[in-house]
């Protein structure tokens, strides 16, 4: 699979396959400009003993075209009610490339990232981060002086490019509105039935 700069839930899917003795090799996007893939994803895979290879972000399309990627797995920082997802910038590009090459594209995230009050991806605010994350590498400037920078931290992947959303409530497939709402409802019902949950919740007694 191809993993995009995520650790925790997204890589939990990969680690589970590895522990089940599946033949797994992960292409790890470096995830510019903050290099979460190189610094975090690669480290976590190494700790878990999962075979992996670090690649430049824009090498993903080349590997897909050569038939070297069989599935793409990414994380999500927020999932809208319709299934649109916000994740580290570059995720949308991977989804488009995966669609072009008929490669399954999965989002792996806890159900807590689902925001049913956010109708779709256009309602998700996108943070613009500091220019120095792009202009500097380890404190060394890599662009000419006075270079203008746009540095969005996230992008939005439309639901119609997503094969399925892997959550702690199961794998949800289109139509996402119904599946996500049901998954959130199941979580809330289980929480409400958990002894001590109301006492721990804001306003609980």
- The separation between CA 100 and the C-alpha centre of its own chain, rounded to angstroms, equals 19
Residue with tokens 């039935």, as numbered in its chain: 193
Determine which one of 77, 115, 155, 168 is catalytic: 77
Q: How many CB atoms lie within 10 A of CB 173?
A: 12
Tokens of 99: 């669609």
Residue at token pair 């920078």:
149
29 is catalytic: no
Task: Count Cβ atoms within 10 A of the Cβ of residue 54 and give its class: 0-12 exposed, 13-18 middle, 19 or more buried.
Answer: middle
**Signed CA dihedral, 80, 83, 88, 130: sign only:** negative
Q: Is 187 helix (H, G, I), strand (E, B) or coil?
A: helix
Q: 138-153 burial string, b = 16+ CB within 10 Å, else e?
A: eeeeeeeeeeeeebeb
Q: How far apart are CA 36 and CA 30, in angstroms?
A: 7
Residues labelled as active-site residues:
77
């Amino acid at each position: 699979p191809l993993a995009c700069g995520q650790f925790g839930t997204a890589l939990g899917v990969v680690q589970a396959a590895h522990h089940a003795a599946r033949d797994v090799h992960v292409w790890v996007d470096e995830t510019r400009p903050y290099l979460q893939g190189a610094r975090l994803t690669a480290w976590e895979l190494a700790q878990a003993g999962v075979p992996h290879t670090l690649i430049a972000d824009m090498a993903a399309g080349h590997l897909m075209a050569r038939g070297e990627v069989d599935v793409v797995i990414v994380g999500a920082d927020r999932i809208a009610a319709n299934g649109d997802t916000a994740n580290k910038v570059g995720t949308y590009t991977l989804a488009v490339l995966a669609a072009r090459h008929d490669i399954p594209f999965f989002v792996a995230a806890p159900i807590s990232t689902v925001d049913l009050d956010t109708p779709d991806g256009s309602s998700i605010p996108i943070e613009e981060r500091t220019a120095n994350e792009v202009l500097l590498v380890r404190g060394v400037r890599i662009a000419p002086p006075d270079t203008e920078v746009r540095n969005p931290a996230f992008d939005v992947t439309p639901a119609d490019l997503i094969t399925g959303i892997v959550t702690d409530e199961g794998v949800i497939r289109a139509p996402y509105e119904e599946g996500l709402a049901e998954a959130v409802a199941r979580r809330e019902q289980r929480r409400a039935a958990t002894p001590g949950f109301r006492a721990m919740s804001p306003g609980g007694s």
